Chain A
């Protein structure tokens, strides 16, 4: 495998700083189909361009690979971007890079959300609101300054991800095929978890047995077979349509919408 590795251009400190600032656009193309994927890729492109240099075909493949479902915390995004940039720079295998990205975005989003939304925001909001309620301009002013600082923190966060990646690389290096396999194992496990937590289908229909007793189809039937069985089934149906029938994703989005509104109207969902 070692012989397949291609020479890639190196990223400078400035490139990583730029990557940290560009992470602002992580949510610019937000949509339900693949969440932040488009904005994420938009932020990654300048770094990828430099890494791949004249290798246009390699660049297109790398950009394509980035356009996959991703949804992470916005302050954790530059960490993952820096990490991915270091892996790309070292010419790691595509499946290793993609497996790691897919596996990591969820857990670091959990950590990022816990820190930014559930720790920093309540503290900052609580303290500044006490000033504001008395009509003091200090409240909004301090609030603003804290979040400008938070924005600037994206730069060191991106550098942190980049250096963490560089250190991990030598280890990954030795057995890239095995690492790719292990990364796919991790990735697929996490996707299984993502399906269970992100896709929500709840049947609200109840069967009236007697005037005082009714059976909820969701609670008494589906939940007794297996929780989240409908999200898993629907995801596999879509997977099957995409893989075996080559159905266009847009068709599936429209189909999903149509079904959701139809079932809502019928009172099933």
Chain B
């Protein structure tokens, strides 16, 4: 069964909502469980949608956007699993595999967005410097709008316009180019850290930076907790040392002051 134009438009509209939700991680309607169910409902096969939802959700359970990484796109996987199962008559389980190229292409689009949107930060800084917070808000929300737009176009083309074309496109993208984008994504945080260090780093803090770096290199753990504990311990030590120094200085000053006072009295005699 083919997808009608109306169904294509409806799915595109839903993709916008789910896309914004995924971008913000708001209500989790971007998870395949919900995406498949709604897509199934929109093309008039609710039961297929629910069953595909259960299967795809489990298949994507481990693919999570933790720590700013981007997994294969769960929205396109959900939509295309149901659409492919509906149009080709494949079982939902097979359709999951066939939906993967769409899901991976959308993943690349989002990764590209992460990189491109770095360009807006300069403008955002300018608005803040001038105190134009309304304009700042608009430039912060702009990426969300652009992402929504990308979802609407991509999902409509995948569902209604050009399923075959999309598949060829995914397969024909030169690997060095897609690989280059992946690499750039891995290196770009360095720009953010460079900016952070520009405002925070003083020569006396370099040793701590190196300690944190070394600790993270050799302690294999899922998150930065060990490094944070080391940092907290160092901060604690420094706090104690500085406080002691301050107290000693205060005592010295008091002594100096009392000596001066004594001196003054002697002069008076």
A residues contacting B by CB (< 8 A) are 24-35, 37-39, 41-42, 45, 49, 56, 59-60, 63-64, 67-69, 71, 74, 98-99, 102-104, 106-107, 109-111, 113-114, 117, 121-122, 125-126, 128-137, 139-140, 143-144, 147-148, 150-151, 175, 178-179, 181-201, 226-228, 231-232, 234-235, 238-239, 241-243, 248-250, 252-253, 256-257, 259-265, 267, 269
Contact across chains for B238 and A181 when beta carbons are under 8 A apart:
yes
From B34, B58, B140, B205, contact of A29 by CB (8 A): B140
Contact across chains for B224 and A178 when beta carbons are under 8 A apart:
no
Contact across chains for A113 and B67 when beta carbons are under 8 A apart:
yes
Tell me the interface secondary structure of chain A in the complex. helix
Q: Report the stretch among B5-13, B98-106, B131-139, B151-159 that lies at the interface.
A: B131-139
Question: In the docked arrangement, what's the CA distance between A33 and B33, Å?
Answer: 32
Also in contact, A114 and B222, with CB within 8 A (given A30-B117, A185-B235): yes
Question: In the docked arrangement, what's the CA distance between A197 and B69, Å?
Answer: 12
Q: Which residues of B contact A71 (CB under 8 A)?
A: 67-68
Q: How far is the CB of A144 from chain B (nearest CB, A)?
A: 6
From B53, B188, B190, contact of A132 by CB (8 A): B53
Q: Which residues of B contact A34 (CB under 8 A)?
A: 118, 121, 192, 195
Contact across chains for B176 and A256 when beta carbons are under 8 A apart:
no
Q: Which residues of B contact A37 (CB under 8 A)?
A: 121, 192
Contact across chains for A189 and B230 when beta carbons are under 8 A apart:
yes
Contact across chains for B133 and A45 when beta carbons are under 8 A apart:
yes
Contact across chains for B33 and A140 when beta carbons are under 8 A apart:
yes
Cβ-based interface call for B125 (8 A):
yes
Q: How far is the CB of A192 from chain B (nearest CB, A)?
A: 3
Contact across chains for B186 and A30 when beta carbons are under 8 A apart:
no
From B24, B140, B143, B187, contact of A201 by CB (8 A): B187
B residues contacting A by CB (< 8 A) are 23-29, 31, 33-34, 37, 46-47, 50-51, 53-55, 57-58, 61, 64, 66-68, 114-122, 124-125, 128-129, 131, 133, 136-137, 139-144, 176-177, 179-181, 183-202, 205-206, 208-218, 222-225, 227-228, 230-232, 234-236, 238-239, 242-243, 246
From A114, A178, A250, contact of B246 by CB (8 A): A178
Contact across chains for A29 and B120 when beta carbons are under 8 A apart:
yes
Contact across chains for A110 and B140 when beta carbons are under 8 A apart:
no
Contact across chains for B235 and A186 when beta carbons are under 8 A apart:
yes
Q: How far is the CB of A155 from chain B (nearest CB, A)?
A: 14
Contact across chains for B54 and A131 when beta carbons are under 8 A apart:
yes
Q: How far is the CB of B236 from chain A (nearest CB, A)?
A: 7
Contact across chains for B201 and A188 when beta carbons are under 8 A apart:
yes
Q: Which residues of B contact A243 (CB under 8 A)?
A: 197-198
Q: Which residue of A lies closest to B53 (CB)?
A: A132
Also in contact, A135 and B125, with CB within 8 A (given A117-B66, A239-B201): no
Contact across chains for A121 and B64 when beta carbons are under 8 A apart:
yes
Also in contact, A64 and B128, with CB within 8 A (given A29-B141, A103-B228, A196-B216): yes
